[in-house]
Structure 1
Amino acid sequence: MKLALTLVFSLTAGFVYAQDEVPELPPTHADVAYGPFERNVLDFWQAEGEGPRPLFIHIHGGGWVGGDKKQKTSQYAPYLKQGISCASINYRLTPANPLPAPVHDAARAIQFLRSKAAEWNIDSKHIAVSGGSAGACTSMWLLLHDDLADPKATDPVLRESTRVCAAAAGVGQVSIDPKVIEDWLGPNVLKHRMINFAVGETSIEKALENYDKHRALYFEFSPYNHVDGQDPPLFMTYRDDMTLPSKDAGHGIHHPVYGVKMKEKSDTVGHECHLLIPGYSKSDQYANATEFLIAKLLAK
């Protein structure tokens, strides 16, 4: 049996915490297909407790280009101890599968898990999502976007709701529109392949050349464009390097100004939004994303 490290760093939680050695936690159900594509698979950890259990869903990062649902399972221990079930998903990757594929796959995973509510003892009213980087962007989009449920769909999974009760985002992109983010962060952010691969282009030059063709996709899959005062709460975590313009592609694609922009808009429309940037911004209610998510998932 593998043992997790005693010091665990979580961008999603935004803190380093010490713990006793935690055994790797085998999922209750592994590699369950939630859709028709090879990467439409998820792992599920069923929590103990009376009545239907809330559900935490992890969406991996990797710029929508790479990554995998296989993570250190010690990150699920705080949730399972509170009687919260957990899931981790894979999804199709760009550029071979450009938007909407990665994000709509995650939406379908939520719908599939809701369809399993009775069998897997899930409280479908208390489902939250979290991830880092592109997983954070997807999580924020799912939180803020209108429900994708189609009550007339022949596929019963697609009749289920895609809405969640909360989301936590680690170093997430609130916009993927190259013209918007270059204005916010400077030209280096455009060097990150996430931006052009998202729309299936091999280079940022091609993406900009064909910008009008991709404009609608860039707008649609930028969470910033969907926030309003009726949306469920959000917790965002970023590193503390506020340097502008961004220093390189990695700094730009994870820049804390993304969080500042979202927080400003959320505050304007009356949306509950917490922003953690060391030395710059903190939440008066929650020390980290794990505390936030557990509170929202256990709320009556």
Structure 2
Amino acid sequence: MHHAVLALLATILAAAAHPASAALQTPLASGAKLQLDYDPGDVLGAIPQATLANLVYPPAKGPVADGYPVEPLPVFLTVRGGNTNLLQVGVVSVGAIEAQMTGLGLVAIQIDHPVIEPGDDYRVSLDGVRRAVQYLRANAPTLNLDPERIVMHTRSMGTYLGYGVSFKEDVADPLATDPVARESSRPDYLAARIGVSSLMCFDLAPGPWTSSLSQIVFPGLAFGDSTAEQRLEESPTWWLLNPGLFGRERTPPMLIVINSQHGDACGAMTNIHSGLLGEEMLRALDDWVAQSGDEDLRLRSTSVDKLVWPAVEEPIADWTLERMAEDFGGLYVAPPAGDLTAAGGVLNLRAFGAELGSLVEFRGGSGWSAAPPVGCPGAVGSFAAPVLLGSAVAGADGMAQVGVTIATHQMGGVLEFRALAPSSCEWSARGLHLLIAGAQQ
């Protein structure tokens, strides 16, 4: 059976050996890439460069206005670190983030926001991030975005802002004449990396850390001169634990990045990127669940004991997929995992969202047809030249996985595949194009 699968796979992948497979000679259809101003009406009063957003779509996807079919896509919105309005500054491996998330079928978006000028504090930037979320929701139909599946990914100062957007007031005004202002400013999910979660653990002695915190939180006041009450009230852990202060009725599920090797002690911390900050937020989450009884939030949240990209890449991607699958139903295909060289290798094909013990088939082909797949007359569409790449039974986590060996002569081919649940005749929510070109797949 294994050899039969490989033989079938070869009919799709081996472009050089099988010139008749025209699809293999065709480059991947490019997804749309655009830059827009999310505050064109200048509501924030910021310079235009401070309210830019870069949108990168998955292959063959894009805005309806550009001729792409209507297919609302989930969003992976990155809020970078640093007090600057230059796109990509403070975000590690921008290209890797975009490639990973567009490969998952999400629209990768990175935004600028107004910088904190002397005399201002973080609220200036926070209002920008809120406005960006509202703009994306208000324009979701034309941008082909799913307004209920916005994952906010943050780092450093972006994490402090992400906590503010997630825990503090939702600035939606249902009666506003501005359609953007009517939308919720709260993301649906938050993946928070190395950022300030509490001001209570920092050493109060003067230092680079206190200068940064003073600029962001207490303009005109030395951090060491702030009161314990002031520091507590500006701590995201406090915001999380006191939803009544902000009218918060919904708390986004979170992935919290920690680093258990930090070696810091609360009260003597001098590193604004300490792994202790992740632990503090995780403890606050547990306290909130105990206080509120919201066990569902805890089950839908998680933590990762790693610090930097790309170490956190796969855990964030897997958590995002799990949330999409479990919260919205249906199968989702993950990017294949495996190390390929010029000599080939093994690719692991993965799908999430299947029922425990159910069979999942991975089917490939060279084009999409309106005809239903064999054995599933109720399913919508199928591959024009279907090939069964493998099948597996889903585990308790809803994931099914098969390994496919790629031979040397198959390198460089293009494969499109989707997952199918034969018991329900349900296709995965989207297909995944894969360019087999080298080790970075």
TM-score of the alignment, normalized to the shorter chain, above 0.5: yes
Give secondary structure in 1 for the equivalent of 2:240: coil
2:283 corresponding residue in structure 1:
264
What CA distance in whole angstroms lies between the structure 2 residues aligned with 1:292 and 1:67? 29
What CA distance in whole angstroms lies between the structure 2 residues aligned with 1:171 and 1:223? 13
Equivalent residue in structure 2 for 1:54, among 71, 74, 79: 74
Give secondary structure in 1 for the equivalent of 2:116: coil
2:208 corresponding residue in structure 1:
191
2:56 corresponding residue in structure 1:
45
* Code of the aligned partner of 1:134: M
Segments of structure 2 that go 5 or more residues without pairing to the other structure are: 1-29, 62-68, 242-248, 290-296, 308-312, 329-441
* Code of the aligned partner of 1:269: W
2:128 corresponding residue in structure 1:
105
The CA deviation string for residues 139-191 of structure 1, in whole angstroms up to 9 with x for no partner, is 2222233422011223221111112221111111112x4xx233xxx336863
Q: Percent identity?
A: 18
Corresponding residue pairs, total: 257
Q: Is the 8 A contact 2:74 2:149 kept in 1?
A: yes
Q: CA deviation at 1:224?
A: 1.1
1:243 and 2:263 matched: yes
2:111 corresponding residue in structure 1:
89
Q: Is the 8 A contact 2:121 2:218 kept in 1?
A: yes
Give secondary structure in 2 for the equivalent of 1:29: strand
Give secondary structure in 1 for the equivalent of 2:149: strand
Equivalent residue in structure 2 for 1:224, among 237, 242, 250: 237
2:305 corresponding residue in structure 1:
277
What CA distance in whole angstroms lies between the structure 2 residues aligned with 1:133 and 1:230? 24
Q: Is the 8 A contact 2:85 2:113 kept in 1?
A: no
Q: Structure 1 residues 199, 230: closer, same or farther in 2, change over 3 A? A: closer
Q: Is the 8 A contact 1:55 1:127 kept in 2?
A: yes
Q: Is the 8 A contact 2:197 2:278 kept in 1?
A: yes
Which structure dedicates a bigger proportion of its chain to strand?
Answer: 2
The CA deviation string for residues 6-48 of structure 1, in whole angstroms up to 9 with x for no partner, is xxxxxxxxxxxxxxxxxxx996221434352220111112333
Q: Structure 1 residues 31, 120: closer, same or farther in 2, change over 3 A? A: closer
What CA distance in whole angstroms lies between the structure 2 residues aligned with 1:32 and 1:266? 34
What CA distance in whole angstroms lies between the structure 1 residues aligned with 2:147 and 2:155? 23
Give secondary structure in 1 for the equivalent of 2:321: helix
65-74 or 126-135, larger mean C-alpha shift: 65-74
Q: Is the 8 A contact 1:241 1:255 kept in 2?
A: no
* Code of the aligned partner of 2:56: W
1:73 and 2:95 matched: yes
What CA distance in whole angstroms lies between the structure 1 residues aligned with 2:204 and 2:218? 20
| Correspondences of 1:5-44 after superposition (within 5 Å) | 28-34=33-39, 36=42, 37-38=46-47, 39-44=50-55
Which structure dedicates a bigger proportion of its chain to helix?
Answer: 1
What CA distance in whole angstroms lies between the structure 1 residues aligned with 2:109 and 2:168? 21
1:294 corresponding residue in structure 2:
321
User: TM-score, normalised to structure 1's length?
Assistant: 0.73
Q: Is the 8 A contact 2:188 2:252 kept in 1?
A: yes
Give secondary structure in 1 for the equivalent of 2:201: helix
Q: Structure 1 residues 220, 28: closer, same or farther in 2, change over 3 A? A: farther
What CA distance in whole angstroms lies between the structure 2 residues aligned with 1:278 and 1:89? 24
What CA distance in whole angstroms lies between the structure 2 residues aligned with 1:28 and 1:227? 35
257-266 or 28-37, larger mean C-alpha shift: 28-37
Q: Structure 1 residues 88, 297: closer, same or farther in 2, change over 3 A? A: farther
The CA deviation string for residues 40-66 of structure 1, in whole angstroms up to 9 with x for no partner, is 11111233387311111000101xx23
Q: CA deviation at 1:211?
A: 5.3
Q: CA deviation at 1:138?
A: 1.5
| Correspondences of 1:55-204 after superposition (within 5 Å) | 55-62=75-82, 65-66=83-84, 68-70=86-88, 72-96=94-118, 97-175=120-198, 177=199, 180-182=200-202, 186-187=203-204, 191-192=208-209, 193-199=211-217, 201=219
Segments of structure 1 that go 5 or more residues without pairing to the other structure are: 1-24, 280-285
Q: Structure 1 residues 99, 88: closer, same or farther in 2, change over 3 A? A: same
User: TM-score, normalised to structure 2's length?
Assistant: 0.51
Equivalent residue in structure 1 for 2:271, among 252, 268, 272: 252
Give secondary structure in 2 for the equivalent of 1:253: coil
Q: Structure 1 residues 189, 146: closer, same or farther in 2, change over 3 A? A: farther
